Amino acid sequence: MITTAARGVERPSLRRAQTAPDVSAIGAVAADCLVKELETWPKPGLVSHVDNGSHDDMDAGTFRRSAAAIRPYLQRLADAGALGCGMGRLRIIGLEAERAMFAATSGINTHRGAIFGLGLLCAAAGAKAGGLVDPVLPLGDVVARLWGDSILDGPVLLHSHGSVARRRFRAGGARIEAARGFPSVYGIGLPALRRAVPGLPENMEAARVEACFALIASVEDTNLLHRGGLDGLRFAHVAARSFIDAGGVRAPGWRPRAQSVHESFVVRRLSPGGSADLLAMTLFVDAHERLSP
């Protein structure tokens, strides 16, 4: 259990309880971010509402069923964070979410990475809503302070594609990202999302595309390493970086150029699933910061 004496944790106060976001809405916001990630196009090699990207075994319907199935567990993670639960309890809820995901998708892994990373951010949002941490702390810092050591010391899925890629290529992966407070979200995803275009409703998909390309251009994505090795990762970095350096979504004709990059990933069967998870996390952090007082 995380106690109020733990590092970075404070006793709840009446003032924080009155001003903190409603913990009961956290899971719904997180699940909505998964749907928004799905409904972003073009995303190089990734499944969207337009096409299946580099995947033959899943489509938009698969992802929608998965998001709906794990939504209650994202809320349970938020509730656990609000109660000050430790990493052991969060892992149990995460495993239950995975089982619900596999049941909804007939055994297809759509959101395992998101359950881990987005789930931790939900727990952090719960801790803030419950008044257990300084309300000005970013969610990533809350994750690192409350559960960082436990994340690094926890069990590893030895036979997952990400774990195999991490061992083979000595990549950092999702555990390091989470333990460090999600630097890719705060240092890459959020700045790209917010710099892209004015925040008009019709521009929000473009902003999500910009953030997705920025993440692909920089992240050591173990999904890319699994599918394409180091050559695939380098290709993805160069292609996405070229799009960003040419002006990204602020440049005229950006959508056909983004679609061309998407199609080049599909030809090579590359799918940056880790970057897709980070995009959903970026959207959640952005939504949380906009909703917070």
Q: What gap in Å lies between CA 202 and CA 247, rounded to an integer?
A: 19
Quick check: is 5 in a domain? Answer: no
Query: Is 7 a domain residue?
Result: no
CA–CA separation, 207 and 100 (whole Å): 31
Q: Is the residue at 6 inside a domain?
A: no
Q: What is the pLDDT along the chain (293 residues), one digit of tens a residue?
A: 333 333 333 333 333 333 445 899 999 999 999 999 999 999 999 999 999 999 999 999 999 999 999 999 999 999 999 999 999 999 999 999 999 999 999 999 999 999 999 999 999 999 999 999 999 999 999 999 999 999 988 665 434 454 444 434 344 478 899 999 999 999 999 999 998 766 555 689 999 999 999 999 999 998 899 888 999 999 999 999 999 999 999 999 999 999 999 999 999 999 999 999 999 999 999 999 988 76
Q: How far apart are CA 242 and CA 279, in angstroms?
A: 19
CA count, 13 A, side-chain hemisphere, 14? 0
CB 196 within 8 A of CB 250: yes
Residue 271 structure tokens = 């799918």
Residue 161 lies in a domain: no
Within-domain flag for 9: no
Q: What residues make up the domain containing 53?
A: 14-155+166-291
User: Exposure string (b/e) for 87-99, b if CB count within 10 Å is 16 or more?
Assistant: bebbbebbeebbe
Predicted pLDDT of residue 248:
95
Contact 139, 183 (CB under 8 A): no
The 10s digit of each residue's pLDDT in 164-220 is 444 343 444 788 999 999 999 999 999 999 987 665 556 899 999 999 999 999 999
In a domain, 111, yes or no: yes
Quick check: is 234 in a domain? yes
Contact status, residue 126 vs residue 78, Cβ threshold 8 Å: yes
CA distance 205 to 283: 11
Residue 49 included in any domain: yes
Q: What is the CATH number of the domain that holds 43?
A: 1.10.4200.10
Q: Please name which of 234, 246, 243, 242 lies closest in space to residue 270, comparing C-alpha atoms.
A: 234
Q: What is the pLDDT of residues 49-62, one digit of tens each?
A: 999 999 999 999 99
CB neighbour list of residue 134: distance below 8 Å, 6 or more residues apart:
8, 10
CA distances from 113 to 20, 44, 276 (A): 27, 18, 9
Rounded Cα distance between 215 and 193, Å, is 10
Q: Is 133 helix (H, G, I), strand (E, B) or coil?
A: strand
Number of domains in the chain: 1
pLDDT for the residue 199? 57
Distances (CA, A) of 150 to 3, 65, 192: 15, 30, 30
**pTM score, two decimals?**
0.87
